[in-house]
A and B are shown apart, each in its own frame.
Chain A
Amino acid sequence: MEASGRLVAPAASKADVAEHLGQAGSIPVRLRQPVARPGPAPRPRRREDTDVPQEAPLARIPLVSGDDPDADPKARALLARVKESRGREVNVYRGIANHPEILEAVLQLGQVAYFGNSLPPVERELAYYTSAVTNDCFY
């Protein structure tokens, strides 16, 4: 953590990794289970994490399906493009497809800023991945 103490995002700290890495080079954890952390108090969770109701639904908005004949034609066409490039529709895009014009713009930004950029693949993905981990968001 920084001297200022403001870097509060979760970390697979050196101690954590040293404890868990072993020979395999990856940290075995049970997926989607809270991980007990020894030592100081855990990092504070952001507000949107702490007010989750006990019986929250999986999502607050419907996930549009490109296979749904009643779905917006533009949304269906965009999801078909996603499926063609990613192999599936991907939940995040299915959610955004509730507003096809926004989905179109997001896909365009992703195409230009991410897929079309000039960086080597590792560096390109590090920019996205670092932000995802910092955000506790693993897409």
Chain B
Amino acid sequence: MVLGRSAGISDEQMAHVLDDPLPAGLFTPAQEAIVVFCRKSTLMQPIDDATFAALREHFDTRQILEITFTCGLNQMISRFHAAVRTDVDAETMDQLGTSCPVPLPPSPAEPVPAPPEG
């Protein structure tokens, strides 16, 4: 998130990347293609022709590989965290300050809220 801000992603964009559909006009068409693809890839959903065609419309083959492996790099790191439960750096939390674009999940060391009854 800190890296996202420093790269220039706005807090509003950060807060909406999981909206489906994405809010009109918040992302460029090229950015939308990345977000939709990476969301589906991370959730291991099928990458349908329309999703790939949207990438193809804005990026060449080399760039599509860069997007694919950047997304995959995070997936690998996230699975590592899920396995060993490293905590987020104190420095990262400090830099986020008292507000954050998206609700953070519980710390691995904190109990997870019980699911609702029924």
Contact = CB atoms under 8 A, between A and B. Distances in A.
Contacts, number: 254
B71 A128 contact: yes
Interface string B47-78: 00000000000010011001101111111111
A10 B17 CA distance: 10
Contacts of B88: 91, 138-139
Contacts of A13: 19
A68 to B, nearest CB: 17
B74 to A, nearest CB: 4
B63 A117 contact: yes
Contacts of A71: none
Interface string B90-117: 0111001011111111111111110110
Nearest to A122: B8
A21 B12 contact: yes
A16 to B, nearest CB: 8
Contact of B86 (A9, A95, A113, A126): A95
Dominant SS at the A interface? loop
A31 B104 contact: yes
Interface in A74-122: 88, 90-92, 94-96, 106, 109-110, 112-114, 117-119, 121-122
Contacts of B87: 58-59, 91
Interface of B: 1, 3-4, 7-20, 23, 30-31, 34-35, 38-39, 41-43, 45, 59, 62-63, 66-67, 69-78, 80-89, 91-93, 96, 98-113, 115-116
